[in-house]
Structure 1
């Protein structure tokens, strides 16, 4: 029973990690998207006022900022990382549910390492999948920015 409790705590810690990263990445992705859209809209409006040199210069500056933000977003790829954390959180929550059910439905004397091993293997698999996908995302980014 002690092993099951330890495993459950490790899975919950993984879920907390994925949740905190997901929130931070979602916020960064959303904020950048709103900022990009705002600057794009503002630059378009300002370009309509072309008879003022100051405004036209400001509009072109905003267009340059939008281009810069687009490049920054493609480099950091916050949205796909946010979705990756969403998937990881789902898998940890599913694993938590499975383990809690196993603990509740199995007498403590029958809760052996052999019964817990598949859940531990899945726990390790969640981390392995997250790490592999994270590395794939990071490897893909330089080629994305080189093609632009």
Structure 2
């Protein structure tokens, strides 16, 4: 005979945890590899710019060349880490979390304690999960767009 529902749930939970651990390890490895590759590329680019320019330059010309190398470096770092997009995404999530908190506070304040139901709270919890889902999906879209536009 098969497993009981409780045993099946435990087995499924173990499988989910194994999958999550696998994904966590791979994510960490891929993140490290992407970061190291990007840093190496940027360092070589900046170094080659400086080395090519180190030919009997006066102080102002040398400073200008260093600034150009730094601008090149920063111009390449910004799209990789996508700080502005992360900032806007977190701002949007913060707004949605605050709005959800306000709605929950109003629900509790305007509903008699004996009339507050799990269905009402479940709807709020569903919206809470939707915020996290939207945040995650939007972040993944941004990463995919960056990957496809950079050719990596």
Distance 2:139 2:62 in 1: 40
Distance 1:119 1:77 in 2: 31
Choose the corresponding residue for 1:53, options 38, 51, 58. Answer: 58
Q: Is the 8 A contact 1:75 1:142 kept in 2?
A: no
Distance 2:148 2:65 in 1: 28
Q: Is the 8 A contact 1:99 1:119 kept in 2?
A: yes
Partner of 1:134: 139
Q: TM-score, normalised by structure 2?
A: 0.59
The two structures, once aligned, show a CA RMSD in angstroms of 1.9
Distance 1:143 1:57 in 2: 36
Partner of 1:119: 124
Q: TM-score, normalised by structure 1?
A: 0.60
List gaps (5 residues or longer) in structure 2: 1-56
Q: How far off its partner does 1:133 sit?
A: 0.7
List gaps (5 residues or longer) in structure 1: 1-51
Q: Is the 8 A contact 1:75 1:141 kept in 2?
A: yes
Determine if the alignment matches structure 1 residue 94 to structure 2 residue 99.
yes
Q: Compare CA radii of gyration and give the structure with the larger one.
A: 2
